[in-house]
Every structure is written in structure tokens, then in C-alpha cells.
Structure 1
Amino acid sequence: MAEANDQKFDRAMGALVGGALGDALGMPTQLLSPAEIRRRYGSVERFVSPSADHPVSRGLPAGMVTDDTEQTLLLAEQLLESPDRFDHGAWVDRLLAWEADVKARGSYDLLGPSTKRAIDLIRAGTPPGEAGREGTTNGAAMRIAPVGIALPVDPLDRLVAKVEESCAATHATSVAIASASAVAAAISAAIDGMAWNEAAERGIEAARAARHVGAWTAAPDIAARIEWARGLVSGVDEQAAIAAIVDLVGTSVASQESIPAAFAVVAAAKGNPWRAAVIAANLGGDTDTIGAIAGAMAGAASGRSRLPTDRVAELEGFDLAHAARLAKGLLALRLAASPTTEAA
């Protein structure tokens, strides 16, 4: 029993720390084209400082995490604060307080488009639980790892329901919920010991189960997009995989691009979390978010113990002790959610 708990904790920390690695490595390359990344940095294989004229990351030190990691930890805190029924009002208050803190720190990396739109609606009088009906971007998937840690992948409909609940205030559309469900399920399956490829299959299954959950939006089927994207990088070298992801899958903030791209990145990296972060950082587009999602999924499958310790030590703005406390709390929720199977 103790060994199983230790493995779950190692994998939960792998998700949180792996996500931070992917986020921080992609921080200086986000919003840039692949050609511009090469011009400014060459091939990004380690943490580098953003260029002085970077549109959003200028002034940040090498290895600094961004909103992707910070909002992931915020969601973990909210899940622990309202474990039974997600408190949408408290979640929005938490996001607003975080935004104020980010502004006070002088950061340019603020709320994403869907979250910002939802908060504007809430300020205008829309109930927090209904404000996300136009949110289609990748903000929900980028921070969903705590749900994957807190709930077993089975029963799948319960996991999808918790994802939907956490998305309601900002990303209550079918494409965003299916995308976040895919990421949460892949992480959850990995927490239970599945290898990266098997875990990805559970993610695809969850996206399929969630395809009609939430407000309909004109977007392709996420499960099919993930399967297709993974197939594009199967059996090809890393450079060919990068080209396929950039030219065919897409790397924008749109859920239908960045989430399939993240699954393809993990496949191209053969489940190696650091290699996934490197591939994501060189894609161009929303590199920090794609890196954070890919790093969280690959990290959950590998565990914290298999992440590169020298790179983890170079992270800035990430408190390992705080992440460990959150991971333990989320795993306690997981145990309570399935006392029979988890205690066996």
C-alpha cells in the first residue's frame, strides 16, 4: 500500500513539475514563429532568457514559469477548498486576485482570451457558473492537471463531469471541455501507473465521451484530431514531427490545435518529459502552453523521480514544497473518491 501511494505521489509531482518545465522552457519562444525562434535563440535545448523586445516575456529570467503553471496551482487550491461542489464564485475571485498580483509584479502575461471574456461577463452581471459559454481556447486544458490527480480515470463520466464543473466559469464549450477532459484523463490514467501511450488512449476516450458536453461550437472532434495528430508523428524523426505539428496540426491558442499538438509532442518525444518540453519550445505559437500540457502528461507517466534534477533546480517562480503539499491534498481527494479500489 505504501509503495503504491509513493508511486502515485511521484507521478502526481511528475505532472505538476513536468508541466512547469514545459511552461518555463516555452516562455521565451511563445508567440514567435519557428523561423524567429531560430533567429533569436537557435535551437532551444535549455532555459534561456527572452529577448529584450519579446512581446510578452521580456524582462523575465530564464526558467521562469508563467500563467500556465500559476493557474494550475490555483486550480489545485480551489479543488482542495471546495472538494464536493466546485465553487465558481470563489474560483473567479481567485483568478481576479491572481491577475491583480501579476499586474503588481509587472508581468505582461495575463488572463487568456476566454478567461478574460468570461470575467468581463461576470462583472457585467452574468452568473459565474454560466459565463464560459463562449470559451473555446486552451486555458482550461492548460490548468486541468489537478483534476486528473484528484480523480481516478474511471468511472470516466465522473471525471468528465468534474472537468465540466471546473470549466463552467470560463470554458463551458464542448471543444474546451473535450480538450480538458482528454488531458485530465491522460494524467489520471498515468497516476494509476499507465505508460504514456496507454494513458494517451484513455485521454482520447475521454475526449470522445465529452464531445457533446457543454455549449456547442463549430470545431472539429477533439478525439479524432488527437488520433490524427499522433499518427502524423508516428515513425518519423523529431524534425519531421515538428514540421508536421507546425504545418498540419497548428500551434495557436485554439483548443482544436494546441491540445492535439501537445499529444503529438508527447508521442514524438516517446514519452520523455524533458524532450517533450524541448520539442514544444521550438514549435512556435503557443509554445509555453503546449509545453505545459505535454510536460504534465509525460511527467505524470514518468514520475517526478525521472525528471532531470538539474533542470528542475533551474525553475524560477515554482515552489516545490508548495506543489508537494497540493499533490498530497489532491491524492487524498482521489483516495476519498474511490476508497474500495484505491485502498485495495
Structure 2
Amino acid sequence: MLRNPSSAGGSHIVAGSLAEAESIAVLDHLTGRKWRQDTIKGGAVASIHGLAIGDALGYPTEFLDLAALTRRYGSWRQLELPVQDGVARVSDDTQMTLAVIEALAEASLDGVSAVTAATVEPALRKHFVAWLRSPDNNRAPGRTCLDACAALERGVPWQEATVLPSKGCGANMRVAPVALLPGLTAEQRAGTAQLQAALTHGHPTALAASDLTAHAVWLLAHNCHPSELLPRLRHYGRSARRTYHGDWLGDLAQRAGASDPAAFIAHGWDETLAALDTVAAALDQPDPERDPCEVAGAGWIAEEALAAAVYCFLLFPEEPVAVVQRAAFSSGDSDSVAALAGALAGASVGGPAWPADWVRALEYGDRVRPLVAPWDAGHTHARWGGPGRGTAPGRRA
């Protein structure tokens, strides 16, 4: 087990780690203000680190009820990153997130203007199939993802490959990278978020929840104060409620039996927004000791995974480690809920979010960082540093 806070030796600073905070403190002293800048803090890297850390924490706790969790770990604040032979193993959640990262890097080689359905779909197909055939694909992957990716491998149109009735959280557990690729338009971001979900999960709620998950990460990475997150997500969902992204989704709605594509996607938004309403009601009387999956649902389906993750994040917006501990110590789909919660916390807090020894132990870290670190160079605005730290100069998203 690796404990928090870390006490890493030496002068090397790991991007996305607590050690980086010391450098920021020097700037705070010199400037007389508390603020952060992506080129220093590494918001994109921190978000993906948070996703992987949450996944690694939640992977061993998945399928355990609260009684079993308590017997094994004690309280949720005692949950430590499980490390074996120096590696914190992750589940299919991080593996498929890496596939999305690699697909986006490939689709954007000629610039983000080249990110369209025509470039994203084959890249996603390629990397999803590579995940399917990887010898490491032995981390309890979901049946929907396995079946859909097997169909993608056969070369059928993705609208035939997808599992139309499924709205499992596999759709949005992997979507965070879409929010972190700099330079995308709102249309590109929404279309890509929904398309990456639709390749495997064809239910409208899978699409809406993936879109809203990406938007949550994007907001937090672009100055949204945590207190504004729920209102902004609700506004976005209501505005997008009847927008069917036909350029990205093609005839998916018709294949699902819907005569009106706008009504098809509206159903998904209605279910997703209802899940957020549950979170808002629970936050009127927040109880950090209550199982998040009792509050927002078990998280096996996309809208519940998002809701439970948002709830955990908003309980502890200044304590990213507590966010993932609370999310992982839950009775539902613990790794997916904690992965999403970690992505939110990392996007919000930035580089100082995570203990350096936790970051170093992450499986696949050496593959993720070279791909995601350049995305941070695309964001150079100053950002909110948390309650009590002052408000950064610059706009809020």
C-alpha cells in the first residue's frame, strides 16, 4: 500500500503530483496571490491520473458490500492505493480510457479541425479492437464492450456493432480525454463524446451521460467553481436536450426504432438530468459517511455513475484524495465511480492533486503521460485554485 501524503525523496517533480505544489507555492509568495496555470499545474495529466488512481482504488473494492469493505479496510479514509511489485493495477476503465486517448491523438494528427466522425470512428475502432485483443484485457471487462468490440473487429458498421439497449457505465467511464483535448469546438466535443459511447452502447442515456460527463470535466478544467458545477451541467443538458448530432451518430436513432431522433436523444437527457436532481437533493444535507451508491445509484449504468462521481467530488472539492477514497469505498460499480470522480477532481485541482508516489506507481503511466502532457500546453489560462485560495484572473467557463 502507498500512503497519503507522500514523502518522495529527491528533487524530481512528477507532473500531476503533490510535489509540484511546492513550486506553485513559490509563485504564490512572489505574486501575492493564489492561482494556477495549466502549463505549470498539468490539468489534463492530473485528470487522467485521477481517473487511473480512482480506478486502481476501486478495482479491488468492486463487488464488495459495505460490511465486507469495513471488515477489510476499516473506514473509507483508511483506503490506500493497492500496489504490488511497484505497480498499481487498473481495470478495463483505464485501459479503455487509454484507447480513447490514443484514438484522439491519432485523429488529431493534422490538427483538431480534422477531428470529425470520419476520422474519429476508425481511430476508435482500431484502438477498441486492440484493447479487445490485448493480453491485459483480463480485468473484468463489461459484456457490452466485449460484444460490441468483437463486432467492430468483424468490420460491420458501428451502428450494427453497438448494443442498442445498453446504457452501462462503460459508455462514459472512458470519455474524460474528449474533454481534455484542447481546441475542440463545443460541437466536436459533444459529437466525439457521444460517438465514442455509441460504438459500444446505443441507448440514448449512454450518449447523453457521456456528453455530460465530458462537459463536467471540461468545465472543471476551465475555471468552473465547484459550487457552479451542478447549475452549469443542468443548463447544458437542458440546452442540448433535443439536439441529435446526426453528423456523428448517423441513423442510430432509426436503428433503435425511434421515428424522431430529437425525441430519442431527449429521453437520454431526461434520465441523465433526473440523476443530477438526486445529487442536488442529497447535497442539501450532505453525509460523507453515507454510501454514495445509496445516494445516487449503484453506478452500473451511465447516468448513475456520473451522478455518484459528481456527488463524491462535491462532498470534498478541495480534497481530491478524499474524493476517490469515498467513491471507491462504495457498494456499487466502485472502480467506474471512483475513476470518474478522480477525473473530475484532477481536472479541478490540477497538478497538486495526487501524491507523487501514487502517480509513479500507476500502471500505463509511461504510455499516458507522453500523449496527454502536450494537451496541457494547449491550455495556458490561469485557473481557480479552490475555496480560500482566491480566484484566478481570467474568465470562467
TM range (shorter): 0.7 to 0.9
Tell me if structure 2 keeps the 8 A contact 1:113–1:137.
Answer: no
Does 2:77 match 1:32? no
Output the CA distance in 2 between the equivalents of 1:5 and 1:317.
24
Tell me, yes or no, if structure 1 residue 187 matches structure 2 residue 232.
no
1:30 aligned counterpart, secondary structure: coil
User: Which of 168, 171, 184 lines up with 1:137 in the alignment?
Assistant: 168
**Match 1:238 to one of 274, 277, 288:** 288
In the alignment, residue 44 of structure 2 is paired with which amino acid? A
Counterparts in 2 of 1:168-179, with a 5 A limit?
Answer: 168-179=198-209
Say if 1:238 and 1:25 are closer, same or farther in 2 by CA, change over 3 A.
same
Among all aligned residue pairs of Structure 1 and Structure 2, give the percentage whose two residues are the same amino acid.
Answer: 25
Q: Structure 1 pair 139/151, CA: closer, same or farther in 2 (3 Å)?
A: farther
Deviation by residue 1:281-327 (Cα, 9 ceiling, x = unmatched): 111221011000011011100002232334334x34131x5433222
Aligned twin of 1:338: none
8 Å CA contact 1:196–1:297 kept in 2: the answer is no
SS at 1:29 equivalent = coil
- Structure 1: give runs of 5+ residues left out of the alignment: 51-58, 336-340
Q: Distance in 2 between matches of 1:259 and 1:224?
A: 12
Give the letter aligned to residue 257 of structure 1: E
**SS at 1:194 equivalent:** coil
Distance in 2 between residues matched to 1:300 and 1:49, nearest whole Å: 23
Separation (CA, whole Å) in 1 of partners of 2:130 and 2:221: 31
Structure with bigger gyration radius: 2
Q: Whole-Å Cα distance in 2 between the matches of residues 70 and 203 of structure 1? A: 27
Does structure 2 retain, via aligned residues, the 8 Å contact 1:190–1:300? Answer: yes
| Residues 185-264 of structure 1 mapped to structure 2, 5 A cutoff | 185-212=215-242, 213=244, 215=253, 216=264, 221-240=271-290, 242=291, 245-264=292-311
CA gap of 1:152–1:226, structure 2 versus 1, over 3 A, is farther
1 or 2, which has the higher helix percentage? 1
Question: Are the structure 2 counterparts of residues 323 and 304 from structure 1 closer, same or farther at C-alpha, using a change threshold of 3 Å?
Answer: farther
What SS class does the counterpart of residue 139 from structure 2 fall into? coil
Structure 1 SS opposite 2:289: helix
Give the match for residue 30 of structure 2: none
Letter in 2 for 1:76: I
Q: Distance in 2 between matches of 1:327 and 1:291?
A: 20
Q: How many residues end up aligned between the 2 structures?
A: 317
Rounded to whole Å, the distance in 2 between the matches of 1:186 and 1:247 is 22
Matched, 1:272 2:319: yes
> Is 2:135 the partner of 1:122?
no
Counterpart in 2 of 1:56?
A: none
Contact kept? 1:14, 1:307, Cα under 8 Å = yes
1:67 aligned residue: 92
TM-score normalized with structure 2 length: 0.70
- For residues 263-291 of structure 1, give each alpha carbon's deviation from its aligned partner in whole angstroms, at most 9, with x where no partner exists: 11111223522111111111122101100
Distance 1:72 1:125, change over 3 A: closer
User: Matched residues in 2 for 1:165 and 1:233: separation?
Assistant: 32
Q: Distance in 2 between matches of 1:262 and 1:146?
A: 16
Query: Secondary structure, in 3 states, of the residue corresponding to 2:172?
Result: helix
1:298 to 340, 345, 350: 345
Which runs of 5 or more structure 2 residues have no equivalent in the other structure? 1-35, 109-114, 245-251, 254-263, 381-393
The change in CA–CA distance for 1:166 and 1:332 in structure 2 (over 3 A counts) is: farther
Residues 199/157 of structure 1: CA separation in 2 closer, same or farther (3 Å cut):
farther
Cα 1:66–1:299 change in 2 (3 A) is same
Letter paired with 1:68: D
Q: Which residue of 2 aligns with 1:164?
A: 194
The structural deviation recorded for 1:201 is 3.8
Among 74, 78, 93, the alignment partner of 2:103 is: 78
TM-score (norm 1): 0.80
Q: Displacement of 1:172 after TM fit? A: 3.5
Question: In the alignment, what sits opposite 2:129?
Answer: 96
CA RMSD of aligned residues (A): 3.1
Alignment of 1:145-164 (within 5 A): 145-151=176-182, 156-164=186-194
Closer/same/farther in 2, CA of residues 206 and 178 from structure 1, 3 Å limit: farther
CA distances 1:224-274 after superposition (whole Å, capped 9, x unpaired): 31132133034433113x2xx333421141113221111111112235221
The residue type equivalent to 1:192 in the other structure is H
